[in-house]
Amino acid sequence: MSTKKKKKTIPRIEGDKKFRALLKGFFWLVGRIFYRFSFAGIENVPPEGAFILAANHTSIVDIIAIHTKLKRWLHWVAKKELFDAPVVGFVMPRMGAIPVDRDRVDLTAARGIFSILQAGRPVAMFPQGTRLKQEDINRVPPKSGIAHFAVKTNALILPVAIEGRFRLFRKTKIIIGEPFRLDADIRKKYNQQELLEMTVEVMSRIYALTSFEYKPEYNVTVERE
């Protein structure tokens, strides 16, 4: 049996510009042919500097839709299993995506996120960590990671909401809210409950951009995809 350890996937901050331009063109083409993306609040995207884009997660099309309009390249935080999948596993590292192990504290992913934010670049993540049906949104607590990174770096958070679900040849609205910072002390160490409460605030700001009423409950959970 081989004892060789699997090499960690390090996010690519620089390089692959031609590949990313090609990929963005592909995203635009997919959106143009198969979907009708509508954007509101695009002027709220910071033109420079680090920020954390936080969005609700409805479909794999979320990433495609958001990239079609934003001029700045986003470094997505994604579950590590995607990096082992055919085709997707080839694309994700070249997108500058950051693999994360959702079942444990992932220090490699944390270092990758910090390095990108410290380089003045935007990171994008889905705080709820998985695609959810509407009836499950209030039942699954978000991951507290976004609050942790926002507090430690004092980065702006850019809330983005996907209104409804993507359907072929039908219009879907992407709403970009005003960026904000968490009311927190960068020098203080917050416990998990406090970080969770901050993340709930982030999710509340996201869903406030839509018609969905966000009232989280934490006594039940559903299986993550």
Nearest to 116 by CA among 188, 14, 13, 37: 13
> For 4, which DSSP code?
P
* 51 and 157 Cβ atoms separated by less than 8 Å: yes
Token output for 218: 């934490």
Can you give the pLDDT at residue 129?
A: 83
Can you give the pLDDT at residue 131?
A: 85
Residue 148 contacts by C-beta under 8 Å, 6 or more apart in sequence?
190, 195
Can you give the pLDDT at residue 1?
A: 44
Which amino acid is located at 113 in the chain? I
Q: Where along the chain do its domains lie?
A: 38-207
Q: Is 211 helix (H, G, I), strand (E, B) or coil?
A: coil
Q: Is 36 helix (H, G, I), strand (E, B) or coil?
A: strand
In this predicted model, what pLDDT tens digit does every residue of 87-141 receive, in sequence order? 888 888 888 889 888 777 778 888 999 999 999 999 999 998 888 888 889 988 8
Can you give the pLDDT at residue 139?
A: 87
Residue 158 belongs to what H/E stretch? strand 156-163
The CATH number given to 38-207 is 3.40.1130.10
How many other CB atoms sit within 10 Å of the CB of residue 105? 8
Can you give the pLDDT at residue 100?
A: 87
Parts of the chain with a pLDDT under 50: 1-7, 220-224
